[in-house]
Chain A
Amino acid sequence: DAGVIQSPRHEVTEMGQEVTLRCKPISGHNSLFWYRQTMMRGLELLIYFNNNVPIDDSGMPEDRFSAKMPNASFSTLKIQPSEPRDSAVYFCASSLRLEFGTQYFGPGTRLTVL
């Protein structure tokens, strides 16, 4: 299996622009997670889905952030408008099941907002 696939791997954009991060989970996995990693705050869970349905989005920092999972093999995390403080590495992870399921992380997208 190819593992969790994320694109792009690096994104540099200017403040105010819309940013869309993409994730393809491992085939057959039912749960998908979006994390943000910064030096200051560490790894933070933003939102997670189970069977394509958002379960908990309480980690989403602001209304500027939104996430969708239109089908079992694709998810997006959108930031509109982006701000410099959104600069971070964003990880997507998937697991076979929600509870006790090993979360497999993608390689991440390094976002820089100028």
Chain B
Amino acid sequence: GENVEQHPSTLSVQEGDSAVIKCTYSDSASNYFPWYKQELGKGPQLIIDIRSNVGEKKDQRIAVTLNKTAKHFSLHITETQPEDSAVYFCAASSRGRRGGSQGNLIFGKGTKLSVKP
């Protein structure tokens, strides 16, 4: 089945610097890669996603890149702000053991991002 590895587990940056989080996946059939942000005491919230037919997607200070050949994708946050501090999760779609669709999301272990003012 699908396996998603995420690095680093913790990341500390100065306000205004860029932050990059990287993920690799194992199932070449995966075709959907969302990124979630989880603040303390809350559920994960989608911040950006990318499908397998696209190599890069941007939304203001956030961008995601996908390399299907190498089976890795990355989250880039530019001009970081203290409110970007949170745990970030990558995920990859999978058919799962019994599902016939790509509805199953396999999550990475998360990256705790700290932005110091």
Contacts and interface: CB of A to CB of B under 8 A. Distances in A.
A9 to B, nearest CB: 10
Contact of B43 (A58, A98, A107): A107
A99 B103 contact: yes
Given A58-B96, A91-B43, A108-B43, A42 B107 contact: yes
B99 A55 contact: yes
A95 B81 CA distance: 29
Range for the number of chain B residues in contact with chain A: 20 to 34
A24 B36 CA distance: 21
B19 to A, nearest CB: 20
Contacts of A57: 98
A98 B103 contact: yes
A48 B106 CA distance: 13
Contacts of A91: 43-44
Interface stretch (B45-53, B60-68, B71-79): B45-53
A102 B32 contact: no
Interface string A28-39: 000101000000
Interface of B: 32, 34, 36, 41-46, 49, 51, 89, 93, 96-110
Interface of A: 4, 31, 33, 42-45, 48, 50, 55-58, 91, 93, 98-108
Identify the 7 closest CB pairs spanning chains A and B, nearest first.
A105-B43, A98-B103, A56-B99, A58-B97, A43-B107, A56-B96, A56-B98
